Amino acid sequence: GEAPVDANKPTRRHDNTMAAVQDLSLGASGEAPVDASSRSTDTPLEAIAPMVDALRASFDAGAVRSNDARIAQLQTLQRLVEENLEDLVEAVHTDLGRHRSFTRKTLGGCSRACTLAIDNLSTWTAPKVTLQSDGVTQQVRLTPRGVVCIIVPWNFPNPLAIKPLATALAAGNTVLLKLSEVCPTISNQLASLIGRYFDPAIVNVVQGAVPQATEVLAQKYDLIFYTGNSAVGRIVMQAAAKHLTPVVLELGGKNPVFVTESADIDVAARKIIDGRMKNAGQFCVAPDYVLAAPAVYDALLEKLKKAIVEFFGQDPRTSESFSRIINARHTARIASLLKDHGGVLEAGGESDVSERFVAPTIVSNPRLDSKLMQEEIFGPVLPVLRMDTEQALKFVRGKPEPLALYVFGADSAAWEPIVDVVRSGGVCINDVIVHMLNETLPFGGCGESGMGSYHGEWGFKAFSHERAVMVVEANADTPARYPPYA
């Protein structure tokens, strides 16, 4: 889930599906580049189709068919991460200003995703017998899809390239990665490393902006895996439809946080601020707004403000733990949301486009029809509203399905009625974000927040075809099946 774009901007061309990309001024990441393409290494357009052809030839030749071959590729990917850890950390710091220890943790998760796939591959690939009787054996086999395309966003480019890549390789596919032009330091580095560690007929990389994204999506794949925003998600689906290619879309949305009367307010406030401000709010599963029960609203608001100071000091601009916005355009977009919202500025509000800085900000009770409450914020701004449960449910259920739903409450009587009626990609009770860090849970959206899921075994299944296989004994025959019929 990335920053929202105007999906209704009219197109000027109708000769191909990707005209919409041109007219929206979007790259595959859903972001208009700001001098990024001049700093990244663009793939020649004429090289893209041959890349895909080579990947298909390699797949057809069975280069990654056996479990041993798949494990070898996973081990290569794991070495790439572990042998270049500090270089990867520095690249993220350059593009996003993210604290190095935080990036090390995310890259550690990438290595663990490889270990999980290696350790469980024989179980995942084993045929699942569903019936065995009377001379018939039925089973389901998970077979590779073929050549898959993974389109990587800019906000967490390493894990959102490496984790899907790990499960795609575990499933026996060859892979084309389209990296984001908006984080050129990270993309240049990752492209270089993949070129060093992998056979380009098994994993290859495309870099660049709109022209490269257009050409990538013009090719035929057996699955497209896209992480980004819903506007570009629709464009990806249009391109995929030309070839009847299935898609997995990991999108975003406005993730609500319900804070009920029975919540532990101290703990809730700290977790909400931590989740909202990680990566300066550029996180698809970050809390987008808080709906607090009237009985706890005032106390929660004060503790949220206190948590900002505790985490980032009196001047967050000087805190090494607070990231920067990806570029000037996004900084200006987030700052514009703080105008005409009709609420009260409780904390923060400062911004500096030249430094790509937006302060950790809290706005209380903005208008429900304001841009702040209608658009995915994708930045370090947290609206907090006083609402009883009935009002809050009516408001949330009237909006598109979020990628994540968060509820704070002491017991199931507090949160189950909310979870039961609000549709969302995932749910986390008494915490935020941590559910999507767990490789033993599926991660994905529904409705406007996406389709399909991945992580761990669910990622393996997403990049596989569930193939029904029935084996009948050679001499089994039933005369009643043949005409003439009785």
Show which residues are catalytic. 250, 284
Residues whose CB falls within 8 Å of the CB of residue 420, separated by 6 or more in sequence, listed in order: none
User: Of 280, 279, 363, 274, nearest to 311 (Cα)?
Assistant: 274
Length of the chain, please?
A: 486
Dihedral over alpha carbons 117, 119, 121, 127 (to 10 degrees): -140
Phi, psi of 431 (to 5 degrees): -165, 175
Three-state DSSP at 376 gives: coil
> Cα separation of 435 and 445, whole Å?
13
Q: Is-contact 380 96, C-beta < 8 A?
A: no
Cα 9 to chain centroid, rounded: 24
User: Of 366, 370, 273, 375, nearest to 333 (Cα)?
Assistant: 375
Bridge partners of 249? 226, 451
- Outline where 61-147 has alpha helix (H): 67-83, 85-96, 100-125
Residues whose CB falls within 8 Å of the CB of residue 182, separated by 6 or more in sequence, listed in order: 27, 29, 31, 33, 34, 36, 154, 326, 327
**Full strand arrangement of the beta sheet holding 256-259:** 344-347, 361-364, 381-386, 289-292, 256-259, 404-408, 426-429
> Cα separation of 379 and 371, whole Å?
13
Q: Is-contact 414 262, C-beta < 8 A?
A: yes
